[in-house]
Structure formats: C-alpha cells, structure tokens
Structure 1
Amino acid sequence: MLLISLMLALSVFLAACSGKDDKEDAGTKDTEKKDDKTEETEGDDPAEEEEELTFPLDVSNSEATIENGSLNYALVSDTPFEGTLNPVFYSGKPDADVMQFFDEALLATDGDYLITNEGAAQFEVSNENKTIAITIGDNVNWHDGEPVKASDLLYAYELLGHPDYTGDRYTYTIYNVEGMEAYHKGEADTISGIEISDDEKTITINYLEASPSLLSGIWTSPVPRHYLGDVTKGEVTHEDIVESEKIRTTPIGFGPYKVEKVVPGESVQYVRNEDYWRGKPALESIVLKVVTSASVLKELEAGKIDIATVPADQYLNAKELTNTELLAKVDLAYTYIGFKLGKWDEKAKENITDPESKLADKRVRQAMWHAMNNEVIGEKMYHGLRFPATTLIIPVFDSFHDAENPGRPYDPDKANELLDEAGFKDVDGDGIREDADGEPFVLNFASMEGGEVAEPIATHYMQNWEAVGIKVQLTDGRLHEFNSFYDMVEADDPKVDIYQGAWGTGSDPDPSGLYGRTASFNYSRYTSEENDRLLKEGTSEKAFDPEYRKGIYNEWQELMVEEVPVAPTVYRYATTLVNKRVANYSIDQSSDNFDPWVWGVTSEDPVVD
C-alpha cells in the first residue's frame, strides 16, 4: 500500500529504492495515488472506454516565466509527513515528495526509466554487465558547499548494508554487490566490491550477477558523510541519524532548491540553489505545505496552491475549475488486498510463511478475490478513474504486464464454489460460513482513513465478502490513521488478518523488492521456492533478453494469480491540477519539463477561479 500518493517527479527516488517502495495509503487517503480515468457511463464497455481516455501531460502556458517567482506546492495528505528526509531511511511517499526539491540521484533516467548520462554523473558498464563505473561531474556540490564525492555514494551503500540498518531498502541491487553479504553480516569492515578513485570522482561497483536491474534499479543517491557523521567510524549510529535534526529540519542535498525552513509534518520552505550543477533554477522559492484531501480543491480554487494531486473521488468537481489545468497519466501504482500468511523474522531478515495461518488455504484467498466487485469501485466511487487490476505487474510496464492474464474477475458463483471446495460451509444456517473444522471464521480487516470514499470502499468489500458467506470486520471497529495502520501491518499485528494497501512500484519492473523472501515490504509474508526461482530468473543475466524476461514475468504473474498472497484491486490514473500561471511543467517522465528545476510561474499572483 505504500503511500498511495505516488510519485510526481519521484522516479529518481523510486529507482533509488530498487524500484519498489514508497509507501502509500490505501483506501483513499491523503497521498493516495490518484488514479484517474475519465468517466464511463453505465452500459459503456470499460475496455472500449479505456482506449479513448486522453489527458494532457504538459501545461499549455507558454509565456515567459518571471525571474523571482515563488510556487506553492501541495502535499495532499490527511496526516503529517513523517519527516525522515533521507533517501536511505525514509519509508513514506510524503517524505519523498518533500525530498524531490532538494535532493536527487546522481544518474538521471529516461522515459523508460532507464539510467542515462544526462544527470549529475555519467556511467559506463563493463565486465559482461557486472561492473558499473559512475563518475561525478563538475560543480556537483552539497548545499553547504562541499563537493559531492564518490565516497558519499559509497556511504549510502555502507548504510544500506550495515548490520544495524533497519530500513526497507536492503534489496537485490544492494546485496548483489560483491562483498556486500560479508559486510552485512558483520564479517567484513568494508565492501570489497566497491572501489573509489583517488580523486573521489569515480566509484566502481562490481556485482555478483549481471542483471537488467542494473539499468533501471541501481542505487545512485549519495549521502553526505561529512554532514551526518560516519557510522563506519563509530561517530554516530543509525538511530542518531534517523533522529537527527540534520535530516528532520535541516537536511541538505545537491538538488535545485535548498531547505530554508521545516515546520515538522506541516510545511517546508525552499530557496533557489544558486550553485546547482545544471544552472540557475527557474524559481526563487517553493513552499510545500500539507493540504488535506477534503480542502485541496478549495485551496486550488482560491489560488493558494499551484500544484496538487487530486483525489479521484473529487474528479468531477476538479475538472470544473477554470483557473487550473488537469493533467493525468496511468500511474506507477496499484491498490490491493493483502492476506497475512506469516511473520517477518527480524533476526534472519526474511519472511516466514506459516502453513497454519488462518488464510493458509489458497482457495479461500482465491474466493475472496473473485468476490470483490472492483469495477464498481472504479466506476462509481472514482468516476471511472480507476479500473480493475488483473496482475501484480502494472500496465505501465507494457513489455512485462501480461495483458492476456484476466486475474480473478468478479464472480460470486466461482467464489462460492471455491469456498465449498475448501470445506467452508454455513453450519448453523446464519448465512455465514464456518471454517473447514466447523469453527467460526471471522477476519479482521485493516484499512486506512482518508478521503470521502475510504469508508465506503471498506464497507463495499466487506459486503462483497459477506455475500459469499465470509464475515469480515474492521480491526478495532474503525479505519486507522496512516502511520498507525502501517505500524500494525509491518509488525504483523495479530489483530490484522487482511488489509487494504497500495504500492508505488518504482521504475524497475522487478517485483522482488515487494514479494521476495527477504523483502521486508512483503507484508503478506508469502514465500515459496517457485516464487524464489522466478524472481531470481527475472533479474538474471539471461533476463537481458526482453523476451526471456517477459516469459519469466508472465509465469510469475500466473503464480501470483494462483497463490493470491495479495489480490490487486484497481490500477489508477494519477491526476494533477496545475494553476494556469505555472509554465514548463510536465508529468511526463520523458519530458525536459518533468524536473522541478525548470518549473516556473508567469505572474506573481496566481490565477483565481
């Protein structure tokens, strides 16, 4: 579920996260990934309608931008942002939204989310795709004036692989580094596969295996060792860094804007980085503030904010505003229902599936997916801006999404058939099934608050399941705030049997960061040898052949539809409203105007509705 408000200009961060993570809320919460499609009237063919959907990706304002403009950016969220403003340690999308203006990765990415030589550093791959050399360009400096060094990128790897690291980003592209496993286990003080040049400009990373993820999921976000202190020398601990004001209220990066002031959880003021490596940023300042999903349209209408993602449940009103432009595209995200199947072993750092878990019988999970009417969710609650999901690789990854796999479409009869087959019968005639042992079967469902449709969606699914005889009740009898929700899900709280979440997938199609045996984000805790095999093959040297990789990922999608550790519910369109004074702005990853450093305004005062 990771912060449903997915990335807007965050592919750099997401790629840095090995292509997975960013937490988003599910339900429809603040940062919910707005999937926005266009309306479909009852009786229309959804597939046919989908093909006709067209939204602009760029603003139409072509006037010259003013020299000292200021832009107001909304972080649409019903809860405060956490404030862990460091790419190694943050976990939520809201924090990534904050970081996008002051920090970035060394390597840029193109429209296909592949690394390029257009960023602050250039790269060269060698040794049969097992080695990458990254050379930092000139005038790439931290905001305190210190140059960004190759050892700063090394420091990110040292933090991620450190035995004391408790974050979620020790994933394949990190532990595939030569010598990383020994370092991670505390058996070595250094990472043997990483070398630094004498001039601190070039870092060379050697990998155990060649993998296509090298080009789409490699970590290139450095960390300022001189500023935060050195964990490897015992100057600070990981906890010191996470709790430090140096990442919570006075963080530095090398991006286009500097952090001037942070009001924790509420707002951030940025000023132009005059020494930015690309040149002078277009805006003099940016103000980011948290705006609730309920008030975002009023703020836009009054011109108090210039850019905001828009909850899909407010789409009909959003498109009527006359002072903004509506941009939208299919998002790098999906919503899902997760089934708790085991626990996270903190000592072993891996997921342990429990064969005796309440939902161990996959037929029950299959039935619950068939029982969910996701088309109604998309059409009625999101005005057609979300559409039924079929597999766990999203349509944005056109080369790897299996469009021929139907998933488990809404089919109550099939759901009833599967439950009967599993031995779940209504023993006492009350309309609710008992389990295969004749014992009461009640599931606790965790879902997040936020937005107007969060509660109706949760109620809708509970009614769907009740219609096939499964009793489901909300955990603690209510929806939960974003942070407390994830506290429960991440901790495998026994009060949670199923949960509704959403993932921002990142720019790498490799799903191992979300569903691998050692992936802490694998909240269902599902594991199997076949899952291990397919995920490994999907990032193997043979997977440089796109057709081979496509075949492997088709097999993996089929496995997930069969095993159902999670049931994808809807894909989405991400929609953004932009004040008409904004110029040089795009939500298209391949556009030059995707980067915040070129965003500008053409007048001091915003256009008011």
Structure 2
Amino acid sequence: MIFDSVMALLFRGDKTFVHWRGDRMKQKALYLFMLFALVLSACGGGASQPVTARIGWAGSPDTLNPGMAILAVSYTIFELVYDSMYELNLDGSFTLSLAESAEVSDDGMVWTFKIRDGIEWHDGQPLTAEDIAWTYNLYKDTPEYPYLNGYYTPHFDTIVATENNEVILTLTEAIPNVESQLMFLYILPKHVWEGVDKLEYENFEMIGSGPFKMAEYVQSEFVRLTANKEHFSTPPKIDEVVFQTFSNQDALVQAIKSGQLDMITEMPNTAAASLDEDPNIELVVGAPLAPGVSDIIFNQMDPENCPTEEGGICSGHPALRDRNVRLAMSHATDKQQLIDVVLLGLGEPGLTLIPDGLGVWYNNSIEDFAFDVAKANQILDDAGYADTDGDGVREMPDGSQPLNFRLNWPSDSINAPRMAELLGEMWGQIGITLEPQAVDPDALTAQCCPAF
C-alpha cells in the first residue's frame, strides 16, 4: 500500500511476526526475539542432540548483497551472518557490538570507536578496524547502493582506520541518530570483497563474522545457516537454522500446525484464533516484538521537480499537495474500524511512523486526528472543493478535475485489499473516490522509488 504518517495504524505484533517490506527495525527485533526463543528451546531439550530451528516465511531474500537488498527477509539473514557497530536491545536502546568503547567529540562531529581484539571472520581471518572503515567507505561511495548512501551515510565525511585498531568517523554535521545508522551497516570482509564486482556479489561464498555461517542457499526455496560457536559475543545455543520459503501465508499456517516448522514469521490475521486454540502452538503478542506500522504515503511530488517521463511519481493528483485535503482524509479515517475489521482487533491506532514499542523514540504527547466526518467535509468546503455536478465527487477549486485518487499496494499484501475497500467507503463520505489496484511489489518499488 502507498503509505503516509498522518494515518498510521500501529500493530501490536499480529500475534506472530509480520513481514513488512523494508522494515529494518522490525527485523532487528525479530532477530533478537528469535535468538532468545531459540536459546530457551535449546536449553529445554537434551543438550547432547544437535538442535535445528525450522522457520517458515512467505518470502525469499532478493539478494545476499547488503548494499543492494531491499526486502526485509534479506536483513534477517544479514543480522545472523554479519555484525555491525551497534546492536538493538529489546527496550529500544543500543549496545556496542564490534567496538568495546566509543568516544564522541564535544561538537558531535567526530566519533572514535575502539574495535575489539580477537574477532575473526568465518574463514578465520582477523576482523580489524580496516575492514570496518573500508566497508563504510564502500557504502558511502558506491552510487549503485542508493538505499545505503542515501539514507544511512549521507552525513559521513571521512572514515579512517588507525594503527591502534580504531575507527574514526567524521561527520559533515552533527546528527542525533548515529547509533541507529551504524546499526544497519553490516561489516564486510575487505579481503573477500576488494577487487570483485560490488554489484554482482551473489556468486562467491558469503563470509561474515556473525553468530551464524551461511551453509546453503537456494533462491525461493530455503536458507540454511550453521552456528558460529566461536562468535565473540554470545555463541548460539542451537546448531542450525533453516528458513523455508512457502508460497503463501496459508501454507505457513498449515506447516506449523502439522509440526513441519518450529516458528513462522507471518500469518493471516484470520488464522490467529485457530492457532491460539492449538495446545502445541504458542502465539506471541506484544513485547518483545517490535510493532509494525501500516500507513499511507501521499504522492505530493511537484511536477516541476519531476523528470519528463510519464507515470510514476510524476503523475500524482495535484489535490494531494494541499494539506487541507490530506487533513480532511485523516479526519475521515476510522482507524478503529480498520483495526477491528481488517486486523480482527490485533492492533491499535497509531500516532506517527514511530511506534510506542521503540521506547524513548516515541512521542506520546502528539494529538491524534479525531475521526470526524463532519469536520472533514467542512475542511474541504472551506478550501473550495465542491461537488459542482452533483455526482457525489468533489472537484478541484478551479473545477479542473475530480478528487479521484489512485491507491496502490504490493500484491503480496494480505490485508491491503480489504483495507483499501474500507478506505474507499470512508473517503466516499467526504466526496473522494479511489481507484484501488494491487501492483507487483517490484513494479511498485520502481514506480514510487525509482532510485531503488
């Protein structure tokens, strides 16, 4: 679905993990919870027998190249195979991982990290400050990695390694979220990546330093990881993790019911009741899961700032650039009905794109847009949007075109079709019509975010 923060729906976790494309913070929480759950599982059984965790998902990594990946499932694999400078705690705080200490200059511009000694790559080579500095520069300077250098490294000026096994990161300006930026930059082995095609990293061995090693990968079928018992932090208590790809969420539900799987990462909300009644299955709600956010993105692109080609981000409706229209749509959206009908009650209204599960990052003092259809209609009336021909649809103040908006969502979304139907009914009450359409996920990404 195309999303925007003014109408966020904050999920409590949907009973099990839900796959949201590109939701990297949630993948961090999934990784942490999965390790916690699997450690308990391993400790509860006989320690003499090898322990394999069988995890199902209705997806597959789009690439094993951390610089090119978009799908959230890819980041689940990265979390297990690679390490980063910081790790996320379940309470939303950060802990140093590869570094034993960090010092920040008084102006916040220079960050100095003392890297731990004795860390090894999966091939036995030492991981040093040189690997980290080289990786950060790779992400910063590779134009074909737009998601990384566009979102995570744009404020990086210089990154250098010292003879004392330190990494010195100098910023172009002080920013408040250095820890979270570095948390998503997975460190790569310079001795493996240097001198190879950075865009075609698929055909040689995936070497990391994380708690698991890549053992076998078959696209759209499975990923098999084996434990790195020598990991410098907390060596895994299990021996192997197998991520099995299924065609859809219904197949996932049947697989866990039959005992074929130990855990599933997503499921349709309609399956919650039957799974909850199964004595062999435990459903997890809320903490330690990071909640997902479903929101609507308005295309507010000014055509004057667009390329000349047709379609995509350059063909948005001009009314969506008017805050009055977006505000009216917000007041006309009954979030609780969407939660009750689409999510079967497994959620709560959200305030912003930052959910309350992220602790200190969440601002609960923000006032929500109250559901008020009369107020929404009044806003549009006052802004000059009238139904001049009596067909039930308002027109632009100059009468140039009706308020008829396209609403697209990824075709693999379970909840989006019913949500779009309800939104059409809600916004129809204020004279706005929708053209809902499911779009192939890759095509939708190309349409709304051509840089990726």
Same fold (TM over 0.5): yes
CA spacing shift, 1:266–1:418, aligned 2, 3 Å: farther
Q: Which residue of 2 aligns with 1:265?
A: 220
* Cα pair distance change 1:254/1:400, threshold 3 Å: closer
The yes-or-no answer on 1:437 pairing with 2:403 is no
Q: Structure 1: state its 5+ residue gaps.
A: 9-20, 26-30, 35-56, 181-190, 230-234, 347-351, 492-519, 522-609
Alpha-carbon displacement from aligned partner over 1:39-71 (angstroms, at most 9, x marks no partner): xxxxxxxxxxxxxxxxxx968766245341111
Matches within 5 A, 1:179-194: 180=157, 191=158, 194=159
Distance in 1 of aligned mates of 2:393 and 2:445: 29
8 Å CA contact 1:269, 1:288 repeated in 2: yes
The answer as to 2:422 corresponding to 1:463 is: no
For the residues of structure 2 that align with 1:102 and 1:298, how far apart are their CA atoms?
29
Alpha-carbon distance in structure 2 between the residues aligned to 1:289 and 1:354:
39
Please point out which of 182, 185, 189 is paired with 1:218: 182
Q: 2:372 aligns with which of 411, 436, 446?
A: 411
Are residues 1:325 and 2:287 paired? no
Matches within 5 A, 1:204-353: 204-219=168-183, 221-229=186-194, 235-236=195-196, 240-246=197-203, 250-278=205-233, 280-291=235-246, 292-311=248-267, 312-329=269-286, 331-342=290-301
Q: Distance in 1 between matches of 2:378 and 2:219?
A: 52
Counterpart amino acid of 1:337? I
Q: Match of 2:122?
A: 143
Whole-Å separation in 2 of the counterparts to 1:100 and 1:147: 20
| 1:245 alignment partner, SS class | coil
Say yes or no: does 1:203 pair with 2:167.
Answer: yes
Question: CA 1:100–1:415 in structure 2 vs 1: closer, same or farther (change >3 Å)?
Answer: same
Aligned counterpart, 2:33: none
Which residue pairs with 1:120 in the alignment?
98
> How many aligned positions are there?
414
Counterpart position of 1:535: none
Give the Cα separation in 2 of the matches to 1:399 and 1:115. 11
Contact 2:331–2:373 (8 Å) recurs in 1: yes
TM-score normalized by the length of structure 1: 0.61
**How far off is 1:216 after superposition?**
4.1
Instruction: Say if 1:294 and 1:409 are closer, same or farther in 2 by CA, change over 3 A.
Output: farther
CA contact (8 A) 2:84 2:182 kept: no
- In 1: Cα distance, 2:320 partner to 2:234 partner: 56
Shift of 1:433: 1.5
Structure holding more helix per residue: 2
CA contact (8 A) 2:373 2:430 kept: yes
Distance 1:168 1:254 in 2: 23
Go from structure 1 to structure 2 and tell me whether the alpha carbon gap of 1:489 and 1:470 turns closer, same or farther (over 3 Å shift): same
Report the alpha carbon displacement of residue 266 of structure 1 after superposing the two structures with TM.
2.8
Counterpart Cα distance in 2 of 1:216 and 1:485: 27
Secondary structure at the counterpart of residue 351 of structure 2: coil
SS in 2 for 1:260: strand
How far off is 1:263 after superposition? 0.8
Residue 176 (structure 1) aligned with residue 140 (structure 2): no
**Following superposition of structure 1 onto structure 2, how do residues 503-522 of structure 1 map, counting pairs within 5 Å?**
none
Cα deviations by residue, 1:67-114 (Å, 9 ceiling, x for unpaired): 41111112234xx4312x233332221111222221221433434443
SS at 2:327 equivalent: helix
TM-score using structure 2 length = 0.81
Q: 1:74 aligns with which of 47, 51, 56?
A: 56
Q: Matched residues in 1 for 2:153 and 2:413: separation? A: 36
Counterpart of 1:526?
Answer: none
CA RMSD of aligned residues (A): 3.4
Change (3 A) 1:172 1:444: closer
| Residues in 2 aligned to 1:323 and 1:72: alpha-carbon distance in whole angstroms | 15
Partner amino acid for 1:108?
A: E
Q: Check whether the contact 1:260–1:269 (CA below 8 A) recurs between aligned residues.
A: yes
Task: Pick the aligned partner of 1:363 from 324, 327, 342.
Answer: 324
Could you give the per-residue CA deviations for residues 531-556 of structure 1, whole angstroms, max 9, x where no partner exists?
xxxxxxxxxxxxxxxxxxxxxxxxxx
CA contact (8 A) 2:327 2:376 kept: yes
In structure 1, the partner of 2:350 is 389
Note the C-alpha offset of 1:133: 2.5
Which runs of 5 or more residues in structure 2 are unaligned?
A: 4-8, 14-19, 31-35, 308-312
Aligned to 1:160: 139
Distance 1:373 1:417, change over 3 A: same
Counterpart of 2:16 in structure 1 is none
In structure 2, relative to structure 1, the CA distance for the partners of 1:267 and 1:58 (3 Å cut) is closer
The reply to whether residue 422 of structure 1 matches residue 422 of structure 2 is no
Superposed displacement of residue 280, structure 1: 4.7
Could you say if the C-alpha distance between residues 162 and 461 of structure 1 is closer, same or farther in structure 2, counting changes exceeding 3 Å?
same
Secondary structure in 2 matching 1:157:
helix
How far apart in 1 are the matches of 2:235 and 2:149?
Answer: 35
Output the CA distance in 2 between the equivalents of 1:277 and 1:362.
51
- Give 1:206 shift: 2.7
Quote the Cα distance in structure 1 between the aligned partners of 2:298 and 2:234.
49
Shift of 1:369: 1.5
Q: Aligned partners of 1:112, 1:212: CA distance in 2, in Å?
A: 18
- Of all paired residues, the percent bearing the same amino acid is 21
AA matched with 1:151: E
Post-superposition Cα deviations, 1:281-314, rounded to whole Å, max 9, x if no partner, equal 3222211112321222111111111112343343
Native 8 Å contact 1:86 1:99 kept in 2: no
Give how far 1:399 is off.
Answer: 3.7
Q: Structure 1: how far apart are the matches of 2:396 and 2:296?
A: 20
Q: Is the 8 A contact 2:109 2:171 kept in 1?
A: yes
Q: CA-to-partner distance for each residue in 1:429-474, whole Å, 9 max, x for gaps?
A: 1111122122332211111233543311111111211222112102
Report if the CA contact (8 A) 1:107-1:122 is conserved: no
Question: 2:412 is matched with which residue?
Answer: 450
Residues in 2 aligned to 1:486 and 1:354: alpha-carbon distance in whole angstroms: 15
Give distance in 1, aligned partners of 2:431 and 2:276.
40
Residues 357 and 166 of structure 1: is their aligned pair in 2 closer, same or farther, counting only changes over 3 Å?
farther
Worse-matched range after superposition: 276-285 or 422-431:
276-285
**2:22 corresponds to 1:23:** yes
Counterparts of 2:429 and 2:134, CA distance in 1: 54
